[in-house]
Structure 1
Amino acid sequence: MREGIEAVRFFSGVIAIWFAWTSIAFATYYIPTESMQPTLEVGDRIIVSKWAYGYSRHSLPLGLGDVLLPDWDGRIGWAEPQRGDVIVLQSPSADLVLIKRVTGVPGDVVEVRDGRLVINGDMVVREQSEMRTYRQHNGIPAVVEVMAFEEELPGGPVHWIYERTDRHPLDDFGPVRVPDGHVFLMGDNRGNSIDSRAQGGPGFVPMANIIGRAETVPFTLERCQRESDLHCPTGRVWRPL
């Protein structure tokens, strides 16, 4: 009898620690699409810090926020996302968890002209590094060629982006002003991302829909084939995003 009670206490403690860990501190998410290439690849597992910006009902695991707090759409927050942050969010337009990069914060005027991102009237600096050819996880054509650029957002970090062309339907957008309490998001794979630019995308995302900030890739299940003349990405594990 005593052993049974001790076992119940032990497993109750494990569950309580897991719930606190995934509710308050960190959570892990799987990357299912190519919208954040080359920063993240299909198969990457990421660590997300839920405490980075504060908490909302979307921070609770297992969908408990919808059960426990159905009428609360606020956020207990002490910080706001900055340009360049990679965030995980609950899409306001669909029942989907998304990961995108913050490219516009409240008050920013964002537009895209001929594939070039413009923030508050200034064209964002980007430098072409190389052409890359890679095999898509799922898609037609099976093999695509992209231009790899280093982009530097105002006040943000330098990060890599992919562009297939500067004539994609989403390569001319705006200008739009980001409203208070919202952020504007884009994927790093600019021609293959349903983001704030796209019809049917998340649009302006309320701060309350943000789950947390993606910090790093602890491991990946991505297994690209080593094929001649095809890019096979490496070097993402345990590096800051």
Structure 2
Amino acid sequence: MATQKTETKGGLWDTAKIVLQALVLALVVRTFLFQPFNIPSGSMMDTLLIGDYIFVSKYSYGFSRYSFPFGIVPFEGRVLASEPQRGDVVVFKLPTDNSTDYIKRVIGLPGDRIQMRDGVLYINDVAVPKVADGFFEDRDQFGIERQIPRFRETLPNGVSYDVLDLDPNGSWDNTQVYVVPPGHYFMMGDNRDNSSDSRVLDHVGYVPFENLVGKARMIFFSIDGDQGAWQVWKWPTDVRWGRIFKLL
């Protein structure tokens, strides 16, 4: 009997060790390598859609306190730092509350002058090429299908991506000149008329280097934004199979 109890205790302890090791491994991977995020808004359409699930590389720009869950490691700045490149799609902590995760594209680097004029992006007073690229099909809040004009932008370093511009005279199509401070970055969403980004100084504004969480690398799962990923029975019809494992 004693032997049976000892074996039972040993089995429970072995199971507990395996669970603990798995948790530690998951924490290490999440903190230093890759962290999953899901996309809750359309501010980065059509690069990222509501219902996309992405992996973000935590090591791309080095590590700050925001690399750790709940910012529990209290230190300033970054270690093993590597600066983002113009055009990177980045997850960062919202500067105005340092707890909310945002995802946008890096448009302005420290010292840059950024402005929107008649829907055209200017970097250091030079217009970024914007070429018509068909339409993006979407549904509005009432379920009505609509076609949103899509354009191809190419940044000075050669990075190209699509932007959407539903309203040719939108609220943020003409802006002031933004001068990016040292150690900060200017972020913009690809869905230009539906993105609260660095153009809104009292909400997002200039993003400190310290606030960068990581670089978006890949879509590992995608499902229609009206459905939950846990609704497995809906996968055959609602999963966007063509977006899975798409690199960013």
- TM above 0.5, yes or no, is yes
- 1:167 equivalent to 2:163? Answer no
Q: Percent identity?
A: 35
Question: Which residue, 70, 86, 90 being the options, matches 2:89?
Answer: 86
- 1:208 equivalent to 2:216? Answer no
Match of 2:247 in 1: 240
- 1:194 equivalent to 2:207? Answer no
Structure with larger Rg: 2
Match of 1:22 in 2: 30
Rate the CA distance shift 1:156–1:58 in 2: closer, same or farther, 3 A. farther
Considering only aligned residues, what root-mean-square deviation do their CA atoms show, in Å? 2.0
Rounded to whole Å, the distance in 1 between the matches of 2:55 and 2:150 is 25
Cα displacement string for residues 26-53 of structure 1 (whole angstroms, at most 9, x for unaligned residues): 0000000000000000000000000001
Rate the CA distance shift 1:52–1:180 in 2: closer, same or farther, 3 A. same
Which amino acid in 2 is paired with 1:85?
D
Match of 1:229 in 2: none
- TM-score, normalising length from structure 1? 0.88
Rounded to whole Å, the distance in 2 between the matches of 1:142 and 1:89 is 33
The Cα shift of 1:108 comes to 1.1
Of stretches 52-61 and 193-202 in structure 1, the one that deviates more from structure 2 is 193-202
Alignment length (residue pairs):
227
Match of 1:115 in 2: 119
Q: Is the 8 A contact 1:82 1:156 kept in 2?
A: no
Equivalent positions of 1:1-241 (< 5 A) are 1-61=9-69, 63=70, 65=71, 67-69=72-74, 72-94=75-97, 95-136=99-140, 139=141, 142-222=144-224, 235-241=242-248
Rate the CA distance shift 1:107–1:10 in 2: closer, same or farther, 3 A. same
The Cα shift of 1:156 comes to 4.0
Bigger RCO (CA 8 Å, 6+ sep): 1
Q: Is the 8 A contact 2:63 2:81 kept in 1?
A: no
Unaligned regions of 5+ residues in structure 1, if any? 225-232
